[in-house]
């Protein structure tokens, strides 16, 4: 009896979720028309409000493609929002979907990013490493908060790529070592190792690059807020720009995240 009640309840909620995902879909153009920024943002939190039981319907919706009347930004927002929402549930059934999206390098940046983020939330570094040369994957990998992720990103940064890619890598390092994100996680065994390793790579990026990359590295070091940062900065001063590194340390001393 209990099982039956549970099943009925589950079926009922799935049916409700199906209706609501489809309802959202019918309003994508309206949401897109009223957005202030590049893409409408209301879709993902609305999908998340439907709960995990809506994941199958979200996946099914992706297969439906786009309405002919949608603008490019509406289509991108719909796909990316569905992928981000699905990814947030770390549901292994979605891996083939994420892989399928990433197999098409022609997908829009935010769509690829969302698929990479979905794999990152599944902890699937093996799936992401082969496509790490894509900036969208770099931007999506940050939520895979493992030391191996930091090592992969640091290795890419050590290749001294151009400023645009370096900035993506710096963002990802900051995300991987994000101090506030770590505090929400249950498994925190690697936290200090990840944050320290991210800080090491970020200090190196700060020394290696100038301009926007250096500023991004400085910001990311605030976000990572690693206890190892002072020693790393002091070490970098041996051959790095002393005045700039002193300013960085001064900024970290007053880290507004604390």
Partner 1 sequence: MNVRLGLFVVLCAAACGPSVAEDFVTTAPIGEVVALPLVDLRADVNRDGIVELDNATDDADEETWDAQHGAVFLANIDDDLQRCPGTGTDQTLPLCNDASDDQLNGPDDLLDLAPLKTAGWANAGDGVTGGISVTPAGHVRIFKKTGADVAMFDEAMRLTTDEVRAGVELYLEGKDIVRDSESWDGYVNVTLSIYGAGATLTDTVRMRVSPVMTFHHLTPAETSYVTRVTRDSWSSSFVSSLRTLLNATPEASPLTEIPGNDIWAQDFFETGYMAMPAPNGQQHVIRTAYRSAGIETNGSSPLRAAGQIVFTKFRGKDSAGLQAYTTQQNPDSVSLNSYGNTETIPPFKLGDVDYPLGRLLRGDIPSFAPDPVLAKVFESQKVQPHVYIDTSWLLVGHVDETISFLKAPNARGWVLLINDAAMARKMLEDQVAAGNGNVQMFIGKNWYNDRTGAPYSATKTISQVLADTDVMARSAAAVAEIDAQLQIIKAATGLTEAEIIRVPFLHFTAYGYSIAYQPGFVNGFAAGLTDFVAPDPFGPKIGGVDIFKKDFEDKLTAIGYHARWIDDWDLYHTAEGEVHCGTNAARVIPSAKWWEGGR
Taking residue 102's Cβ as centre, other Cβ atoms within 10 Å add up to 23
Q: Which of 218, 229, 236, 245 binds partner 1 (CB under 8 A)?
A: 218
Q: Is 219 in the site for partner 1 (CB under 8 A)?
A: yes
* Residue 102, helix vs strand vs coil: helix
For partner 1, the closer of residues 157 and 166 by Cβ is 166
Q: Which of 18, 40, 75, 131 binds partner 1 (CB under 8 A)?
A: 40
For partner 1, the closer of residues 2 and 50 by Cβ is 50
Stretch that binds partner 1, among 33-41, 124-132, 200-208, 238-246 (CB under 8 A): 33-41
Cβ-contact 116, 171 below 8 angstroms: no
Cβ-contact 76, 70 below 8 angstroms: no
Half-sphere exposure of 157 (CA within 13 A, CB side): 31
d(CA 248, CA 230): 10
Q: Is 174 in the site for partner 1 (CB under 8 A)?
A: yes
DSSP 40: -
Cβ-contact 92, 103 below 8 angstroms: no
**Residues in contact with partner 1, shown as a per-residue x/- string from 141 to 170 under the rule CB under 8 A:** --x-------------------xx--x---
For partner 1, the closer of residues 20 and 204 by Cβ is 20
Stretch that binds partner 1, among 3-11, 152-160, 192-200, 249-257 (CB under 8 A): 249-257
Q: Is 22 in the site for partner 1 (CB under 8 A)?
A: no
Q: Which of 86, 94, 140, 149 binds partner 1 (CB under 8 A)?
A: 140
Residues 62-121 that bind partner 1 (CB under 8 A): 77, 80, 84, 88, 110, 113-114
- In sequence order, what are the residues at sequence separation of 6 or more whose Cβ sits closer than 8 angstroms to the Cβ of residue 30? none
The H-assigned helical ranges of the chain are 2-26, 28-34, 43-49, 55-63, 72-88, 95-102, 109-121, 125-128, 135-140, 147-158, 163-176, 179-184, 191-208, 211-224, 229-236, 242-253
d(CA 218, CA 59): 38
Q: Which of 131, 175, 236, 248 binds partner 1 (CB under 8 A)?
A: 175
For partner 1, the closer of residues 130 and 210 by Cβ is 210
Q: Is 43 in the site for partner 1 (CB under 8 A)?
A: yes
Q: Which residues bind partner 1 (CB under 8 A)?
A: 16, 20, 23-24, 27, 31, 33-46, 48-50, 77, 80, 84, 88, 110, 113-114, 139-140, 143, 163-164, 167, 174-175, 178-181, 183-185, 211-212, 215, 218-220, 222-223, 251, 256-258
């Amino acid at each position: 009896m209990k099982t039956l009640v549970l099943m009925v309840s589950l079926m009922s909620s799935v049916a409700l979720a199906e209706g609501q995902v489809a309802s959202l879909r019918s309003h994508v153009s309206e949401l897109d028309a009223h957005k202030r920024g590049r893409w409408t943002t209301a879709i993902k939190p609305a999908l998340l409000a439907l709960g995990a039981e809506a994941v199958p319907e979200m996946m099914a919706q992706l297969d439906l493609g786009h309405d002919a009347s949608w603008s490019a930004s509406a289509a991108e927002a719909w796909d990316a929002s569905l992928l981000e929402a699905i990814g947030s549930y770390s549901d292994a059934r979605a891996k083939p979907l994420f892989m399928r999206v990433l197999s098409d390098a022609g997908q829009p940046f935010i769509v690829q990013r969302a698929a990479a983020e979905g794999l990152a939330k599944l902890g699937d570094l093996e799936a992401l490493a082969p496509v790490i040369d894509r900036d969208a994957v770099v931007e999506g990998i940050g939520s895979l908060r493992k030391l191996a992720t930091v090592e992969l990103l640091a290795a890419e940064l050590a290749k001294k790529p151009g400023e645009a890619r370096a900035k993506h890598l710096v963002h990802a390092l900051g995300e991987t070592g994000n101090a506030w994100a770590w505090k929400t996680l249950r498994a925190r065994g690697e936290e200090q190792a990840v944050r320290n390793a991210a800080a090491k790579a970020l200090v190196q990026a700060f020394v290696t690059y100038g301009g926007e990359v250096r500023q991004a590295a400085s910001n990311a070091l605030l976000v990572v807020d690693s206890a190892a940062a002072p020693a790393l900065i002091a070490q970098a001063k041996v051959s790095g720009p002393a005045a700039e590194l002193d300013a960085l340390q001064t900024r970290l001393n007053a880290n507004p995240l604390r």
